[in-house]
Amino acid sequence: QVQLVESGGGTVQAGRSLRLSCKVSTNTTPVHCMGWFRQVPGQEREGVARLKMQPAGGNQYLAKSADSVKDRFTISRDGPTNTVYLLMHMLKPEDTAMYYCAAVSSLCTLAPEDYQYWGQGTQVTVS
């Protein structure tokens, strides 16, 4: 079982930055892929960024951001706290959405249907 708790959302002005956090808790289920997604009401959930843990262990991972945000959004992970972050710069009104953290994907893509565990989401509003 994997539990994900997001935090850090809020209302910000366009052009500002925001960092979302996702605390990952797991007992025995190995988590090798974590991602951030966003969804606007009435639209499909969109993959924003994901990181894939490397077999070498430790906190080595490969990060990937969607083309639409790759110059502004960065995903990272803090090993000791098992927390995944999404750092968002130069926010735009079109970034307004509910942002979700997800984990455990067999393919580690940006497709939401590949992920098994989801957090409750944190709202980001850019004015």
Note the pLDDT of residue 101: 97
Amino acid making up residue 5 = V
Note the pLDDT of residue 1: 87
Cα–Cα distance, 89 to 115 (Å, whole number) = 25
Are 88 and 20 in contact by the 8 Å Cβ rule? The answer is yes
Tell me the CA distances in angstroms from 43 to 49, 98, 106, one per residue in order. Answer: 18, 11, 25
Provide the CA 61 distance to its chain's centre, in angstroms: 14
pLDDT along the chain (127 residues), means of 10: 95 97 90 95 96 81 91 93 96 98 90 95 97
State the pairing for strand pair 2-7/10-12: unpaired
Cα–Cα distance, 76 to 87 (Å, whole number) = 8
